[in-house]
Amino acid sequence: MALLFLCSLAGSCFAEDYDQLFRASNDLMAQGDLAGAVTLLNQVPAPVAGGDAGAFVSSRMQVARIHAAENDLDRATASCQEVLKLFPDNNEARNFVAALDALRKPRWHTILADILRFLPSLAKGTLMTLLLVLCTMLVSPLGGLLIALGRISTLRPVSGLCWFIIWFFRGTPLLLQLFFIYYGLPAFGITLPPLTAAVIGLGLNYSAYLGEIIRGAIQSIDHGQMEAAKAIGMSYGQAMRRIIIPQTYKRLMPPVGNEFIALIKDTALVSTIAMVELMRSADQLFNTYFNITALALAAVIYLVLTTIFTFIFEKIEYRAGIYEHR
């Protein structure tokens, strides 16, 4: 409607002769008779036949707009071409044709262009996400193992400390922990770069979760295994390292896989502490271009990452339990 309104304004400032005609066509448009308006406007003759050039261009462009509004792109273009035949340099007509051509192109073309535009910065963000994931995947199983061994220790202070660590890091939001480490610790004179803060935050949080998972897996191993290991003269440490812990791998993989999949997505939280990872990159693109393709693309990348890791974990789980397959 706005388009039609603008047309009517433009039509009112041309030569007397055609004023009447433009006004009549506006009335027809207002009544909804677009076909009638088109017929009327097309009666404006070409300037070679002694007509007014300005009125001719206006009328044909008006016809083009009406056709475009009706989604009849071919007729709209034809009307523009009438203008271009006589005035090849007419910018209005040329731009309109270009716009019509763009509309004719399939939607995926634009999407593809957006993807190619966004991919480089999203790829950078993905690398940062992967770095965070891999660092946490290295740190947290070790931390988790220490916490698990501490929890089942007979030394009261050790098991108490590990209980406290789990209680604290499982009981508060990861986002709060990250804020505290990055924004809170400087108050105590400890200022950490974002990546360090992120890895410490994610590492502690995931160590606490993995600690409980590992403890459960260790305690699920038949007690006879520890006795048999001790009976051939193994120390507690040897028995753990050689006999008990290797048997937990298969049982650990499903819950640990779960945790690591969650980790891939939880890394999005570190975007709040000045880290430009995948989520932050997508958010920046979205805010710059107001284009949801950036967010959709980020979602696809997260899915690809989680899918790859899922397959890796399934493979490891199979390999870890190979001794149970007959």
By CB under 8 A, which span of 30-38, 75-83, 232-240, 305-313 interacts with other proteins? 232-240
When asked if residue 323 is in the footprint of other proteins (CB under 8 A), the reply is yes
Nearer to other proteins, 208 or 229 (CB): 229
Structure tokens at 153: 């220790």
Report the helix count and the strand count for the chain, using DSSP H and E.
Answer: 15, 0
Which helix (DSSP H) or strand (DSSP E) does residue 54 occupy? helix 53-69
Nearer to other proteins, 40 or 229 (CB): 229
d(CA 263, CA 137): 9
Distances in whole angstroms, Cα of residue 182 to Cα of each of 191, 275, 277: 7, 11, 16
CB of 231 to other proteins, least distance (A): 4
Q: Please, which residues have CB within 8 angstroms of residue 320's CB and are 6 or more apart in sequence?
A: 249, 250, 253
By CB under 8 A, which span of 2-10, 49-57, 145-153, 234-242 interacts with other proteins? 234-242
CB of 150 to other proteins, least distance (A): 18
Query: Other C-beta atoms within 10 Å of 95: how many?
Result: 11
CB of 214 to other proteins, least distance (A): 16
Nearer to other proteins, 64 or 252 (CB): 252
By CB under 8 A, which span of 76-84, 165-173, 235-243, 287-295 interacts with other proteins? 235-243
Nearer to other proteins, 25 or 248 (CB): 248
Mapped onto helix, strand or coil, the DSSP state of residue 20 is helix
The greatest distance separating any two alpha carbons of the chain, rounded to the nearest whole angstrom, comes to 115
User: For 273, which DSSP code?
Assistant: G
When asked if residue 230 is in the footprint of other proteins (CB under 8 A), the reply is yes
Which helix (DSSP H) or strand (DSSP E) does residue 21 occupy? helix 16-31
Distances in whole angstroms, Cα of residue 266 to Cα of each of 59, 224, 286: 59, 39, 20
CB of 154 to other proteins, least distance (A): 12
Nearer to other proteins, 163 or 249 (CB): 249
When asked if residue 154 is in the footprint of other proteins (CB under 8 A), the reply is no
CB of 128 to other proteins, least distance (A): 37
For 203, phi then psi, to 5°, come to -60, -45
Work out which of 31, 43, 172, 238 binds other proteins, going by CB under 8 A. Answer: 238
Are 99 and 37 within 8 A, CB to CB? no
Extended beta strands in the chain, E state: none
Q: Number of residues in contact with other proteins, rule: CB under 8 A? A: 22
When asked if residue 156 is in the footprint of other proteins (CB under 8 A), the reply is no
d(CA 175, CA 258): 19
Nearer to other proteins, 157 or 224 (CB): 224
Nearer to other proteins, 2 or 322 (CB): 322
When asked if residue 246 is in the footprint of other proteins (CB under 8 A), the reply is yes
By CB under 8 A, which span of 14-22, 200-208, 252-260, 318-326 interacts with other proteins? 318-326
Closest CA to 145 of 241, 255, 234, 223: 241
Nearer to other proteins, 153 or 284 (CB): 153
Q: Where are the alpha helices (DSSP H) in 152-221?
A: 156-171, 174-179, 194-220
When asked if residue 242 is in the footprint of other proteins (CB under 8 A), the reply is yes
CB of 250 to other proteins, least distance (A): 9
Interface with other proteins in residues 207-226 (CB under 8 A): 222, 224-225
Q: Give the interface with other proteins as residue ranges (CB under 8 A).
A: 222, 224-225, 227-236, 238, 242-243, 246-247, 323-326
